[in-house]
Structure 1
Amino acid sequence: MNNSTNRNLIGDRVRQARYKSKPKVTQTDLLARLAVRGIELEKTTISKIEAKTRSVTDIELVAIADSLGVSVLWLLNIE
């Protein structure tokens, strides 16, 4: 992994989880789900996370997993 370009491990999995949901979860939907959990992010943040150009805090990681109905380990591609 090239650390200068990849700033997180979960970008691909976030996109995959959004698309596999029925119905699909849009980036705006995910932002709203995170806001309900107290995580306020800028409109472009999900795109940046999925492009791996933005780091993700541990608190955001847990909230994103919960919002998408997946485990933190799945997002980290460990399980």
Structure 2
Amino acid sequence: MKTRKLPLGDRNMIGARVTIARKELGIKQVELLSKLQTVGIDISVPALSLLEGQKRPESDLELNALANILNVSVDWLMGRDS
């Protein structure tokens, strides 16, 4: 497993939790991107990497889709729920 080379940014609140949930499900970034595309969210590998690194803001549509795909709540992604 690769370790993050750069520190987390401050452009979103959900990036670190997206990474946690994705890894708990055992899926790779490309698999997550494929699942996002099936629900109409088309982002690139670099964009997802930036989102997970908290260096790219996400839209409300992306937030909702990520929560659904990762089987977590939007509240959990945003750190409101443990």
Q: Which amino acid aligns with 2:40?
A: G
What secondary structure, in the 3-state scheme, does the structure 2 residue paired with 1:77 have? Answer: coil
Query: How far does residue 76 in structure 1 lie from its aligned partner after superposition?
Result: 0.5
How many residue pairs were aligned? 73
Q: TM-score, normalised by structure 2?
A: 0.85
TM-superposition CA deviations, 1:26-51 (whole Å, max 9, x none): 10011001000000011211110111
Q: Which sections of structure 2, spanning at least 5 residues, go unmatched?
A: 1-8
Which of the numbers 27, 30, 43 marks the counterpart of 1:28?
Answer: 30
Provide the residue aligned with 1:48 in structure 2. 50
Q: Does 1:13 align with 2:12?
A: no
Identity %: 38
Alpha-carbon RMSD across the aligned residues, in angstroms, is 0.8
